[in-house]
Structures are given as C-alpha cells and as structure tokens.
Amino acid sequence: MRLYGTELSSRLMLGTAQYPSPAILAEAFRRSGAGIATVSLRREAAGGDGGAFWDLVRDLGVRILPNTAGCHSAREAVTTARMAREMFGTPWIKLEVIGHADTLQPDPWGLVEAARELCADGFEVFPYTTEDLVLAERLLDAGCGVLMPWGAPIGTGLGLSNRHGLRSLRAQFPEVPMVVDAGLGLPSQAAEAMEMGFDAVLLNTAVARAGDPAAMAEGFAKAVEAGRLGYEADPMEPRDMAAPSTPLIGRAVLA
C-alpha cells in the first residue's frame, strides 16, 4: 500500500488514546504490526507529559499521523495542523473538523475549506469524512490524495452502518486510496471493509477498550489480512438459488 508516495507494509492503522497503560499500548502495536499511529496534538498537550508520550510513540517504530481531533472549525483545524507539523516533523495530517457534537459527524463545509488551505500549504491531508460522493469529489478537488470515510460514528463499534454508500464511494473513485476510519468494533467488520476493496482501516476504541487490547489488536491485524486476500482473490458473486457442487452424472440409481 502506498499513501502519498510512502510504501507501508501493513494495512492496519491504530490510534494511541484510551489504553490502560503505555506498556499495553506498546504491546498492542507490536502484536498488530500496525504501520501507522494516529496521535492527537490537543490530547497530548493537555496531558502535561508530552515528552514522555512522544518517546513512547517514537519507540514504536511506526509512521506518525497527527490528527486535529476535537476541532470544530476550519480555522481551529488549520492552526492545530500547523502546530502538529512543527511538533512531529511530518506533512501528514489526519484532518477532522467536527460539525455535530453527538455523532461527531464531520462538518463538510469546514472540512473542504480546511483541506484546501492545508493542501496549498504543503500538507498531505487524510480527511475524516462521510461516504458522501459529492463531499469526496470536493475533497479530491481541494488536493487530498487519500479519503477516510467513516464506518460509523467514532467510538460506537457499530461497524459499517451504510454498506451501500461505502460500496458506491469505493466504486466511484477506484484509484483513490481509501481508509475506513472510525466505528469498527469487531475484527469481522474490518474484514468486511477490506473485502469491499478499501485499502486499510483505522481504529482505536475497539482495541484500547477491549479486555485484552493486545489480543484484539492482533485479531484486527489478521482480519485485515484475510479481508484483503479475499478481495484480491476475486470472490464469487452471490446467487439466489443453490448450486450443487457434486455433479449429477454418476449418481447411484436405486431400483
């Protein structure tokens, strides 16, 4: 998988929030083999021990994807992104502009506005968006080279709430790298997203809040791999009627 010219060996991305301890976070990343870690600048700044956290993330040996989590306007997101670039030394940014407090649904107007400004400023933007086709077109026109549609609202674990919409989005832009981001709760849901042809999945809560985060992280890693293999194998089309796998010729004849 290549994102903005960077080759990655894993199609699983993990967040770094809500883990019971730093040691469990590190073990989850080790067992998952995830190649990207998302980091919230606002959360780590508020924690008061950003240096220790940065040392931990750096020791994971993965690519860092800072995000603008908690931003509710384009201006706030752009400012946070620029601070993140300075702190983490990367042009990558996961762009979140939240428009609805309860569902954490993206604000489409603010998202496009911020994406356009950040792309013009040299950022490589990963926009957290919905499965809306028009919004996807606007984000690509703004300069985004990756789309990150949600599976379901952040932290809900509902899985793929709008399968038809996600399939339509994937079919409409077949050459654009897409990552299903947020709402996944089970490895089977990640496998389903990969079977649809999505390039990767990003999750946090399903792993961090599991009884055994490291085991769940490994489960998601295997599901992502299985789903991708299934997609690449060109699976059979569903049928309305049964189709016998044993031929009728040679069947025993009873007198």
Residue 5, pLDDT score: 93
Q: Name which of 3, 57, 10 is nearest 33 in CA terms.
A: 10
Confirm or deny that 205 is annotated as ligand binding. yes
Q: From CA 163, how far away is CA 83, in angstroms rounded?
A: 36
Q: How far is CA 149 from CA 88, 185, 193, in A?
A: 24, 16, 11
Confirm or deny that 162 is annotated as ligand binding. no
Q: 42-70: per-residue pLDDT in tens?
A: 655 545 555 677 788 888 889 999 999 99
- Count CB atoms within 10 A of the CB of residue 227: 24
Alpha helices in 69-162 (DSSP H): 74-88, 108-120, 133-142
Mean pLDDT, the chain, rounded, equals 92
Active-site residue among 94, 116, 138, 228?
94
Confirm or deny that 156 is annotated as ligand binding. no
Q: How far apart are the first and last CA of the chain?
A: 61
Element holding 231 (H helix, E strand): helix 213-232
- Position 243 confidence tier, pLDDT thresholds 50, 70, 90: confident
pTM of the model: 0.90
Q: Which residue has the tokens 């832009």?
A: 173
Handedness of CA 104, 39, 166, 138 (dihedral sign): positive
Is the pLDDT at 251 greater than 90? The verdict is no
The angle formed by the CA atoms of residues 86, 1 and 195, to the nearest 5 degrees, is: 125
Residue 253, pLDDT score: 67
Q: From CA 6, how far away is CA 9, in angstroms rounded?
A: 10
The angle formed by the CA atoms of residues 39, 42 and 48, to the nearest 5 degrees, is: 100
Return the domain boundaries, the chain. 2-233
Q: From CA 10, how far away is CA 250, in angstroms rounded?
A: 48
Collapsing DSSP to helix, strand or coil, 42 comes out as: helix
Q: Domain 2-233: which topology?
A: TIM Barrel (3.20.20)
- Is the backbone of residue 159 left (phi > 0), alpha (psi -120 to 50) or beta? left
Residue 246, pLDDT score: 75
CB 157 within 8 A of CB 190: no
Q: From CA 224, how far away is CA 1, in angstroms rounded?
A: 13
CB 11 within 8 A of CB 199: yes
Confirm or deny that 204 is annotated as ligand binding. yes
CB 66 within 8 A of CB 39: yes
Confirm or deny that 182 is annotated as ligand binding. yes
What tokens were used for 54?
A: 């940065």
- Per-residue pLDDT, averaged over 211-235, amounts to 97
**Which amino acid is residue 136, in one-letter code?**
A
Active site annotation includes 222? no
Is the pLDDT at 6 greater than 70? The verdict is yes
